[in-house]
Amino acid sequence: MPSGMAGGGVGYVVASYVITWVVLGAMLMRTVSSVRRARAEYDQAAKGEFRT
Amino acid sequence: MFPAHPNQFGPPKPAPAWLGWLAFLFFVFAQVFSVVTSPADAMMGHLQKNMYVHVPAAWVAFGAFGVVLVASLYFLWRDDERADLLAASSAEVGSLFCGLTLVLGMLWGRPTWGVWWSWDARLTTTLVLFLIFVGYLALRSFVEDPHRRGQWSAAVGILGAINVPIVWMSVQWWRTLHQIQSNPRGLSPVYLRGLLLNVAAFTLLTIWFIWRRYEAARYERAAEHAAQAAALGGYNA
């Protein structure tokens, strides 16, 4: 087993999963907030359009 | 002038809420199940568990770039802006997973090869693929005219997607540090189960991400068109 894998490389595995979860969690937040913001903009623009 | 399309700029069909919950819960299940049930490998120890995130991330990135290819070709053929928005959404999600693949690969390479990075063919072609799609996203933010933006980014998207088979075959065409493609037939069932579960979970998550990003892009364009119509008084004529 290579020297970097002392302990079976548990530290690297934990880092892999933490990074994956953080990145996907950030993407989830970004995606949900972008849809909400874009929908609010659309609703506002649509109302403005019919008031004009 | 961008050609008019019957429902091009209307609000999109929203992604069903159950799909998001299913994708999220299935992802949690797949991750926990694969980590808990797969034993340490005789050669790699627990490092083998990196496969359950690195390989699915790479495969879904390739799939997302495949969607970019098809949507970009459709856009160039039919001039349908919705295809351009779908391509952009897929490119964003694909870039995210491609970047993740590179980082996860480095976390596997350091303890296995003794280096974080090597300019071997698989790593280099994957980095080139990632940079092409980062360039694609940057290009979209620089060009304001939707039609021109669609055409230019379609060209870059097609060029980037053509790189996917080169990345895939790089381990066969050149001598690389990276092992050859993961083949489910060569895996022990105890590892295969975890891999397939995670590939399915990542795929579901990717579909949901693309759908929702596409939804946001459609709302943004619909809002722009509604604002333009309001400014021109088009609906009061």
E strand spans, B7-109: none
Interface test with A, best of B107, B110, B218 (most A CBs within 10 A): B107
List all residues of chain A from 1 to 52 with a beta carbon under 8 Å from chain B: 1-5, 7-10, 12-13, 15-17, 19-20, 23-24, 27-28, 31-32, 34-35, 37-39, 41-42, 44-46, 48-50, 52
Of B128, B136, B123, B129, the C-alpha closest to B89 is B136
Position B161 in a domain: yes
The ipTM value here is 0.89
Out of A5, A42, A49, the one facing B47 most closely (by C-beta) is A5
Judge whether B175 lies within some domain.
Answer: yes
- The number of distinct structural domains making up chain B is 1
Q: Tell me, yes or no, whether B97 lies in a domain.
A: yes
Walk along chain B (237 residues) and give the pLDDT tens digit of each residue.
444 554 456 778 888 999 999 999 999 999 999 999 988 888 888 899 999 999 999 999 999 999 999 999 999 999 999 999 999 999 999 999 999 999 999 999 999 999 999 999 999 999 999 999 999 999 999 998 989 999 999 999 999 999 999 999 999 888 888 877 767 777 888 899 999 999 999 999 999 999 999 999 999 988 888 887 777 765 444
User: For residue B78, what are the domain limits?
Assistant: 46-215
What are φ and ψ of residue B180, in 5° steps? Answer: -70, 170
The C-alpha angle B132, B137, B138, rounded to 5 degrees, equals 95
Tell me if B103 is assigned to some domain.
Answer: yes
CB contact B13 to A (< 8 Å): no
Residue B89 lies in a domain: yes
Q: Which of A2, A23, A52 sits opposite B114 (nearest CB)?
A: A2
- The C-alpha angle with vertex B179 and arms to B187 and B38, in degrees rounded to 5, equals 35
Could you give the CA distance from residue B207 to residue A50 in angstroms, rounded to a whole number?
35
Contacting residues of A for B226, CB less than 8 Å apart: 42, 45-46, 48-49
Residue numbers in B near A32 (CB within 8 A): 212
d(CA A16, nearest CA chain B) in Å: 6
In a domain, B172, yes or no: yes
Q: Which of B36-45 are b and which e, b meaning 16 or more Cβ less than 10 Å from the residue's Cβ?
A: eebeebeebb
